[in-house]
Chain A
């Protein structure tokens, strides 16, 4: 099956620093990638949708200047949390869809746990 990886799996950073999270589709070309955020004991909330080579579309309430998304290739998307604050501590999950064929499935990465101290 399709595999999506994320790196790092865990990261601890100090308040005010920036953190980059990578999301890779390992065995398929992801024309579209999605970034979700999940706070403890809550559901996944969509942050943004990105298509390869174009600007990401952010959900209402998500600051695009704070959460920078780059989808530079068909297998890699990055999420950079800039000037992180403790309230940004969360579980970040990326997801990818293979735009070819008729598959409706989104393949999810294992998530990145960000802790901002």
Chain B
């Protein structure tokens, strides 16, 4: 595997379910990011990790819970989501936080029913 991978690619979940999104980067980077991409809205940065430490949480509801066990892996744990949380969730990485050259995964298309 090369670059940034995300699993699953598609996820349908009910509002009472608990699920997790996984991201893995094979680039030796130290910073990882979660973004939310909704139709007709700008890309929203959700969380940033630098050397496994969370450096940003952009007022994300607590039903989204990130986890970064090491610099190569990033998870987004989901529980009691709302239909408006349906979106494409993108993971990205960069050598260090604050760099503009970010490498994105293909995203997980999430539908909340």
Q: Is B truly associated with A?
A: no
Binding site for B on A (CB under 8 A): none
Binding site for A on B (CB under 8 A): none
